[in-house]
Structure 1
Amino acid sequence: MIGVKMSVEGAGRGVRGIAALGLVVAAVGIVLQRAAGVSMPLVPPGLVLLVVAAALTVFVRWRWAPAFGVLVAVMEAIALGVGGADDLVNSEATGVMLATWVRAIGVVVALVAGVASLRSPARVAHA
């Protein structure tokens, strides 16, 4: 179409928002795990990293800002795989199991959307 410009920038912001939402959901999962009785520090480092990564993803307009969120999500996925995999199927501690699922779903969403936001072009224009 002649004279029509199409911007993908708005779509990239939407994917960033989904990545940030995934990071926040993972952080909520950590808080729920603590409330369910999982032993952890008073202020879990993973919680701090997830919240900071979500803030960077949303508020920093640098193209590569979501990379920090992807890195944090990868570290959380490793932590879940190493220390929390049993909690995903532990039916004896229902609260812990549900909280771990919330955390895991948040991590997966953050990973997928974070990678997608890094791959989306900054701007595409058609004339």
Structure 2
Amino acid sequence: MNRTLSGVRLVTVAGLIAGAVGMVVQRVAGVNMPVVPPGLVLLVGSALLIAFTGWRWTPALGALIGLSEAAAIVATGQLAVLADVTSIGVFLGTWIRTIGVVVALVAGVLATVAAYRSRTA
């Protein structure tokens, strides 16, 4: 099992962590959410799995978590916050979270494809 992080696996982890940081910034800025948001647990947990295991399917989990968080941002109406600078903390947190989960989604798909191609080649 190869435990080194390839470039796209590392980008997936970075995107998931950025999404988690954005969520914490939102919480500190006053966004109403549970004490321990489930999305935060999923983002950090999947980042840890990708970073510390060599399993080839874990980047797919990162992509799935990125997709679910992106859907949550849309479903909760947070897209409107991306253009509203009245609360700078919420604005920045939402941008960090959104960019992080989109990066995790794209990089997770690329890392999964690369992992499965390298095993079959």
* 2:77 pairs with 1:81: no
- Give CA deviations for 1:1-37 in whole Å, capped at 9, x if unaligned: xxxxxxxx8x972210110010000000000000111
Large movers: runs of 4+ above 3 Å: none
The answer to whether the 8 Å contact 1:23/1:106 transfers is yes
Q: Which has the higher helix share?
A: 2
Tell me which of 83, 90, 95 is aligned to 2:84: 90
For structure 2, the 5+ residue unaligned runs are: none
Give the count of matched residue pairs: 117
Equivalent pairs: percent with the same residue? 50
Matched with 2:103 is 109
Partners of 1:94 and 1:12 lie apart in 2 by: 34
The answer to whether the 8 Å contact 2:61/2:108 transfers is no
TM-score, L = length of structure 1: 0.84
The farther-off stretch of 86-95 and 14-23 is: 86-95
The answer to whether the 8 Å contact 1:63/1:122 transfers is no
TM-score, L = length of structure 2: 0.88
Please give the root-mean-square deviation of Cα atoms over the aligned residues, in Å.
2.0
Q: Which structure: larger Rg?
A: 1
For structure 1, the 5+ residue unaligned runs are: 1-8
* 2:58 pairs with 1:62: no
TM-aligned CA deviation for residue 47 of structure 1: 0.3
